[in-house]
Amino acid sequence: MSRRTRLIGIASACLVGALAVGTATWSLATAADGAATRASAPQSDGDRHGTTTVPVEQGDLVETRTIAGALGYGTPTSVPGAASGTLTWLPQPGQVVHRDEPLYAVDERPVRALYGTTPLWRSLRAGARGADVRQLTENLAALGYDVPADDVFGARTGAAVRQWQRDRGLPVTGVVDGDQIAFVDGAVRVASVVGQLGQPVGGDVLQVTSTHRVVSVRVPARDAGQLGVGRRVRVLVNGAGGAMPGSVTDATPAETEDGRDEVDVTVAFDAGDRRLPAAASAQVVAEGRTERDVLSVPVSALVARGSSGYAVEVVDRDGSAERVPVEVGLVADGRAAVTGDLDEGARVVVPS
């Protein structure tokens, strides 16, 4: 092993070690859209036997974080049983339930899904006001009934409720309660069935998820700020081709057995017309620090200068070489941003 090769190994190890301090969860990758600089092919220098050179490049250098995750449907949520009676029908895991379709049945009466984020915590009847009433009217309107778009249970809403009950073969009371409906956050996929047929309703009946595929990852709480809700990321799914655009839709504290502070992050993405596997490992790639329009060289081109920093070996057109001191900035994608007496296109020595 030559002295230069040993020095390069030391320089690279020092840079990687410095980068890893306090940021063990960060890895380096080229941005899929080409924003990060791409290394040019090495070139042998015929005038200096055994020497390989590459050009100094100018462009953007992007630090990215790559986090392992899993493709799925997100964290399940519970559907509590609010009806009174005996469970007489339950859906199958994997079944998708849309608006006005049965979630489960009690005493052979279906409890239907309506969309909304506010749970049904009371009977809805004439004179009631609130977010749950607005959810009811929005669902009735979506089903084609004549109702006002407000949060007041008035005469028109009562008439629409009675007509909906007639159409569904329910007792026509003009009152809606947990024996007839449950609010869920849009169309849902049954993740698991908790209730048991023939048993009284009590506690949770189902666990449901979104119908959309998402990637779930878990990160230390100290890093969660890099994956805040709304953050744009890229998603790679094993077996599904290249990166897909995505964004963080949810971030919630995780429960861990060893008491560590971690956060579960959900990432939605646009798969377009790609066919996704039923289950697969995945990666979420988030951009971090970026340096614009900088000169950069491969990390392997850096030579340690003892305690005084780093240098690169520049080969002139006549084949002569000069060691040029440089200051090292951001390191990403195997390249280091450098400042010094260098120009774009100058050729620097790298290991063969």
Question: b/e for 117-147, b at 16 or more Cβ within 10 A?
Answer: eeebeeebbeebeeebbbbbbbbbeeeebeb
Which two three-digit tokens encode residue 333? 């994608």
Tally Cβ neighbours within 10 Å of residue 74: 21
Contact between 204 and 103 under an 8 Å Cβ cutoff? The reply is no
pTM here is 0.68
Residue 237 has pLDDT above 50, yes or no: yes
What percent of the chain is predicted at pLDDT more than 70? Answer: 86
Cα distance between residue 70 and residue 350, in whole Å: 38
| CA-wise closest residue to 302 among 342, 249, 250, 253 | 342
Cα 72 to Cα 36, 80, 237, 287, distances in angstroms = 30, 23, 11, 23
Q: Across residues 130-153, what is the average pLDDT?
A: 97
| Per-residue pLDDT reduced to its tens digit, 44-76 | 554 455 689 999 999 999 888 899 999 999 889
pLDDT at 6: 43
| Per-residue pLDDT reduced to its tens digit, 157-173 | 999 999 999 999 999 99
Cα distance between residue 244 and residue 188, in whole Å: 24
